[in-house]
Structures are given as C-alpha cells and as structure tokens.
Amino acid sequence: ELQAFIFDLDGVITDTAEYHFLAWKQLGEELGIKIDREFNERLKGVSRLESLNRILALNNRETNFSLEEKEFLATKKNEHYKELIQQVTPNDLLPGIHSLLANIKSNHYKIGLASASKNAPAVIEKLQIGNFFDTIVDAATVKRSKPDPEVFLKAAEQMNVTAEACIGIEDAEAGIESIKAAGMFAVAVGTNEALRKKADMTVERTNQLKLNELIKSFQMYN
Ligand code: G6P
Ligand code: MG
C-alpha cells in the first residue's frame, strides 16, 4: 500500500539543475574546459566531487590534480553555486509542484526529500516548502551517491515506511537507477529517452505530475 512520496530536488522541485550547470561552466572556463548542456545531463544527480572528476576527464586531466586541489576546485564551484541560489524564491518552484505537495499532504501520505546536494536544506528554505517534508536526508551523511539506493532508502527509513510503499520522483538517470535499486516505484520527469526507459512511469513536465495518476500507476504496477 502506498504510503510515501520521495522527491529529488534539483530538476524536480526547482530548476537548480540550471544553477549547478552555470556554476560548473564558470569553473570550467577558469580551467579551460568547455561544458555544454548535453554534457551536463551526465552531471545530474552526481555528487560534487564525482562531477568534478567527470569534467576533468573531458580533457584527460583527472589525474593532474591531487585530492586536495580537487577539493579546492569543488569548493570554488560551490561558492559560485551558493551565490546563484541567493536569487531563489517560492516563484522558482517548478509548475504544479506546490499544488502536488499540498495535495499529497492533505491526503495524508508522507513526503521525503532525497537529494544528493549538501545545499538542499538552504534551497528548501528559500522555496519556503520545508513544512511539507516529513524528512530531508542530510546529503553529508550519505556515503554512496546515486545510482546507489542509499539516499532513497534512508529517506524511507526515516519516515518509517518500507521501500515498496514509496514512489520516487527523479529527473536524472542516476536517480531513477537509485530508486529502482531501492525497490521503489520510479517516476521520471523529462524527455531524455535513456531516463524514460528505466522508469515505471514518465511525464515530460512537472505540471503533468497528478496525484490520482501517480496512485493509479502505482496500483497497476503492484
Ligand atoms: C544534485 C545535483 C547535482 C549536484 C549534487 C551535489 O544531485 O543534481 O548536480 O552535483 O546534487 O550537490 P551539492 O550542492 O552538494 O554540490
Ligand atoms: Mg535532479
């Protein structure tokens, strides 16, 4: 029986995926590495340090830096990112998300956040939606990043529900893999074919996420 919804943050609740992209692009420029939006798809849901490794690998430079230097670069990206998210307001919620959260809440399902981002609590506060969440997993306590199921399993555990009673919602391929590895029903938001193929249900845009349809698909699947 369905008991909870677990959301990814970046790209599902708000478009901070764009800010992550802009921040990496700026760091890339400082390093002489060009990053485009297509490549950025491969950074979605991927941790800060792993993202940096993938960017350096573009120019075969992942072995040119010590871990200390990489941490310095990753911190620099995060400074760019923190500056960008200062502009986030409740108006930056993606279409349909506020009413979806309200609808889920008034139907007494639990709501969790499973973000790989250490900035997630700050973004949730800027969006003023903290009151909807029964749990927000602290990304700093998650050892293995998506596609590992840890972050989704932790969210379920913190809400006292089993994985089979959860619907996970994601915009990243690594995220959908994480939800499936956790044994949950996976909903993909986006048009990327590889992403859609791995999910149990797909919508192109957030305003197509409707509670009754999510419940219906979940029940048909189970
Ligand atoms: C999310 C985003 C990634 C980001 C990761 C870590 O999963 O989709 O693009 O790299 O979080 O975010 P952080 O804010 O901790 O650098
Ligand atoms: Mg995402």
pLDDT digits (tens, 9 = 90+) for 59-84: 888 888 999 999 999 999 999 999 99
Give the ligand 1 atom nearest the CA of 51: 10
Among all bound ligands, the one having the nearest atom to the CA of 189 is 2
Rounded distance between C-alpha atoms, residue 73 and residue 136, angstroms? 27
Element (DSSP H or E) covering residue 198 = helix 193-198
Give the ligand 1 atom nearest the CA of 146: 7
**Residue 45: Cβ-neighbour burial (10 angstroms; 0-12, 13-18, 19+):** buried
Rounded distance between C-alpha atoms, residue 179 and residue 168, angstroms? 6
Tokens describing residue 39: 């490549």
- Which whole number is the average pLDDT over 163-183? 97
Whether the per-residue pLDDT at 158 is higher than 90: the answer is yes
**Whole-prediction pTM:** 0.92
* Average pLDDT value over all residues in the chain: 95
Residue 24: phi and psi, rounded to 5, are: -65, -40
* pLDDT for residue 17: 86
Our measurement of the distance from residue 116's CA atom to the centroid of its chain's CA atoms, rounded to an integer in Å, reads 6
* pLDDT for residue 140: 87
* pLDDT for residue 33: 95
Distance 166 CA to ligand 1 centre (A): 23
- What residues are annotated to the active site? 8, 10
Please, which pLDDT band fits residue 32 given cuts at 50, 70 and 90? Answer: very high
Please, which pLDDT band fits residue 44 given cuts at 50, 70 and 90? Answer: confident
Q: Is the CB of 135 under 6 A from ligand 1?
A: no
pLDDT digits 0-9 by tens, 133-152: 999 998 888 999 899 999 99
Rounded distance between C-alpha atoms, residue 154 and residue 163, angstroms? 10
- Which whole number is the average pLDDT over 30-44? 92
Rounded distance between C-alpha atoms, residue 201 and residue 197, angstroms? 9
Query: For residue 66, what are the contacts with CB-CB under 8 A and spacing of at least 6?
Result: none
Distance 20 CA to ligand 1 centre (A): 7
Among all bound ligands, the one having the nearest atom to the CA of 123 is 1
Pocket test residue of 7, 10, 146 for ligand 1, highest count of atoms within 8 A of CB: 10
Whether the per-residue pLDDT at 125 is higher than 90: the answer is yes
* pLDDT for residue 161: 98
* pLDDT for residue 197: 96
In the chain the beta strands, taken as DSSP E runs, fall at 4-7, 110-113, 135-136, 166-170, 185-189, 201-203
